[in-house]
Amino acid sequence: MPDPTVPPTPPVPLSALLAREDLALRRIAGPAAADTVVHWVHTSEMADPYPYLLGGELLLTAGVHIPEAAGSGTYFDDYVSRIVAAGGAALGFGVAPVHDTVPRALVAACDAHGLPLLEVPPQTTFSGVARAVWQLMARARMAELRRVTEAQQSLAAAASRPDPVASVLRQLAQRLGGRAVLYGPEGAEIAGAGRDPGGEVREALARLAEVVQPPASRPASATDSVAGAQLAVYALGAGHGFVLGVATPHRAPGDHTIASVAAVLLSLLTGDQRSGTGAARSAALVRLLLGAPPEEAASLLGGDRWLVVHARPDGDGAPDPVAASALGAALGSALVDPAGDVVRVLVPADRAPEPLPGWTLGVSAAVTPAEWPAADTQAARALARARATRAPLFRHGARPALADLVPPGEAADHARALLAPVTAHPALTETLRAWLSLHGSWDRTAVALSVHRNTVRQRIARCAALLETDLDDPDVRMELWFALRQV
C-alpha cells in the first residue's frame, strides 16, 4: 500500500526529470537520483518550509529567503534539515535573478543531510519544472492503468482455463515478477507459481498468511518485507480459510490492484459456490446412503428436473479437484464428481449449460431424479459425440424411440445373448459402440477413443469375427446398436 504521508499520485523518478533536455537540470549535491522519486512539486521562499510540505516533494526556491550573512552560520544546515525532516524528496535552486550561483554552504548542507540538490538554470521556469513533473506523472498513470488492465484481462482468461487456480497463480507471478502461493485453511501450501524466493522468504510469507486466517476479526490483507523481498497476503472469501500470498523483489505501482483482482478470482474458484446449503447436501447424501429414493433426496437440493453433464478438459491430463469445483461453479452447481478424465456434474434443468472455454461438454436430457442413471449414460454418449465432432458442447436429443416398443426385460435378455461374444472384452464393446454411433467413421472413432485409426479397424474386424456377422449390413448395425443401448 502507498505511504499515507505522501500524496496519492504515481511517483516520478528524479532521474527521469534530470533526463529532460528541455529543462537542463543538473544535480550538484546529495546522493545519485537513481532511487529518488518525486510525488509532488512545491515552490516556497519560506525560511522554514516544514509546515507546508506533505512529504515526497521537489521543493523549488530562488533563495529569496536567504539572509546576507547566511553562509557564516547554521542557516543552511537548519534549512536543509527541516526539509529532510518533512520528507522532502529533493531541492531545486533557481539561479538568477536573486543568486548568480548556488550558495556553497547550501551544497555542503545537502551533501551532509543526503538531500539531492538540483541547479535550475535561468532559462527554466519553476512552472516549466512543475509541468514536466505533471506530464511524467500522467504518463506513469497511463502506464499503470494499461498494466493493470492487461493484467486483469490475462487473469480473467487464466480463470477460464481447465486448471484455473494454477493458471491464475502462474499469470499473477508473471505479472508481478515474483512468487504467488495459495495456502489452504490449515496453512499448508496448496499451489504455487513463479521463481522460488528462498527459504527465509517462503517461511516469512507462510507466517504472514497466518495473520489473515480466520477468525473473521483478523484483517483482510497484510504486508511485510523480509530479506529484500516485499510480501503481501490476502484472505480469500468470507472466512473459509484460503489465503493468497505474494512475494516480489520490489513493490511497483499497480501491484496491489493486480493482486486484489487475482484474490477475487481465486475467492470465486475456491469458495463455496453452491446452489443450496452444505447442510441440505449432507442431508441428501445421508438419505441416499440410508436407502431413500432419489426423489426424496433431490427435494433437499432444489429442482424437480435435472441435467447430467459430462465434461472433459481440452488437452492432456485429468482435471484436479479445484478445477472440477471451478467447473461446477461455472455451471451453477456444487454437485460435482471428478472421475478420472471426466468430470460429472448434476445441474438443475433451469440452468442450461453453455460452452465453456477449455472444456468439452456432453449434456443429457432433462430428467427426474429417478432417471438419473439413464441421464448419466446419455451425457456420456453426448460427450463422445462432442469429442468426435470437435464440438465444444453436444446435447442429447430426447424423443420417442423404437426401443420403447420392446419390454425392457426382453430387450436386455436379447442384448446379452447377441453381444455375449464381445462383452468379455470391454475395449471391443466400447469401440463397437463408438464406431456405430459415429456411422462407421474410422477417424472420428479414433479421436473419440484416443486411439490410432488402425487400432479401431483391428477391433472392429475382431468384433465382426466374434459375432460372425457382416458389420457393413445396415440391418446388422441397427440390431447391434439396439442391443448396445441395453447394456
Give residue limits of the domains in the chain.
12-124, 143-270, 303-399, 403-484
CB 227 within 8 A of CB 209: no
CA-angle at 366, arms to 363 and 367, nearest 5°: 120
Q: What's the number of CA atoms in the CB half-sphere (13 Å) around residue 87?
A: 17
Q: If DSSP states are collapsed to H, E and C, what string results for 418-465?
A: HHHHHHCCHHHHHHHHHHHHCCCCHHHHHHHHCCCHHHHHHHHHHHHH
What pLDDT is attached to residue 274?
40
Question: What confidence score (pLDDT) does residue 408 get?
Answer: 66
Mean pLDDT, range 381-407, rounded to an integer: 75
Q: What is the pLDDT of residue 201?
A: 92
Q: By the 8 A CB rule, do 257 and 150 touch?
A: no
Q: 406 pLDDT exceeds 50?
A: yes
| Cβ-based neighbour number of residue 29 at 10 Å | 23
Residue 14 CA to residue 90 CA, distance in Å, equals 8
Q: Using an 8 Å Cβ cutoff, are 445 and 457 in contact?
A: no
pLDDT of res. 337: 86
Residue 101: what pLDDT?
A: 94
Q: What is the percentage of the chain residues whose pLDDT exceeds 90?
A: 38
Residues 6+ apart with CB under 8 A from 47: 65, 79
Answer whether 222's CB lies under 8 Å from 140's CB: no
For residue 162, the model assigns a pLDDT of: 75
For residues 274 and 157, the model is more confident at 157
Cross-strand partners of 344: 310, 337
By the 8 A CB rule, do 152 and 265 touch? no
Task: Work out the average pLDDT over 105-125.
Answer: 95
pLDDT of the residue at 107: 95
| Residue 151: exposure state from Cβ atoms within 10 A (0-12, 13-18, ≥19) | buried
Residue 403: per-residue pLDDT: 54
Task: Reply yes or no on whether the pLDDT at 123 is more than 90.
Answer: yes
275 has pLDDT over 50:
no
Placement of cell 516485499 in the chain = 230
pTM, rounded to two decimals? 0.49
- The mean-pLDDT minimum among 267-271, 410-414, 478-482 falls in 267-271
pLDDT value of position 308: 93
d(CA 477, CA 470): 9
Q: What are phi and psi of 246, to 5 degrees?
A: -135, 135
Mean per-residue pLDDT, 450-460: 92
If you average pLDDT over residues 97-120, what whole number do you get? 94
CA pair distance 242, 245, nearest whole angstrom? 10
The CA distance from 166 to 159, in Å, is 9
143-270: what CATH class? alpha beta
3-state secondary structure of 474: helix
> Tell me: the pLDDT tens digits for 415-430?
888 899 998 888 999 9
341: which residues sit within 8 A by CB, 6+ positions away?
312, 318, 319
Distances (CA, A) of 75 to 17, 78, 117, 443, 479: 28, 5, 16, 90, 107
Minimal CA–CA distance to 252: which of 5, 13, 6? 13
- Name, in order, each residue with C-beta under 8 angstroms of 432's C-beta and a sequence gap of 6 or more: 422, 459, 460, 463, 480, 484
The alpha-carbon radius of gyration of the chain (Å, integer) is 35
Instruction: Evaluate if residue 309 carries a pLDDT over 80.
Output: yes
Q: Please report the pLDDT score of residue 302 as a whole number.
A: 67
User: Residues 50, 117: contact at Cβ < 8 Å?
Assistant: no
CA distances, 284 to each of 302, 318, 347, 373 (Å):
11, 28, 15, 17
* 365, three cell numbers: 436430457
pLDDT grade, residue 353 (50/70/90)?
confident
What is the pLDDT averaged over residues 62-75? 87
Report, as an integer, the average pLDDT of 367-379.
88
pLDDT tier for residue 279 given thresholds of 50, 70 and 90: low
Mean pLDDT over 299-311 rounds to 82
Q: What percent of the chain has pLDDT over 70?
A: 91
CA dihedral 480, 481, 486, 487 (to 10 degrees): 70
Q: Homologous superfamily of 12-124 in CATH?
A: HprK N-terminal domain-like (3.40.1390.20)
For position 221, what pLDDT does the model report? 86
Residue type, 405: L
**pLDDT above 50 for 2:** no
CA 381 from centroid of its chain's CA atoms: 33
Tell me which architecture the domain covering 403-484 has in CATH.
Answer: Orthogonal Bundle (1.10)
Mean pLDDT, the chain, whole residue set: 85
According to the model, what pLDDT value does residue 8 have?
59
* Half-sphere CA count of 326, side-chain side, radius 13 A: 27
Residue 413, pLDDT above cutoff 70: yes
Distance CA 333, CA 326 (A): 10
Q: What pLDDT, in 10s, does the model give residues 13-59?
A: 999 999 999 999 999 999 886 679 999 899 999 999 999 998 999 99
CA 472 vs CA 398, 436, 439, 478: distances in Å: 27, 11, 11, 11
State the DSSP H helix or E strand holding residue 156, giving kind and residue range, or none if neither. helix 126-159
- What does the pLDDT average to over 178-199? 87
Supply φ then ψ for residue 61, to 5 degrees: -150, 150
Cell of 92: 531545486
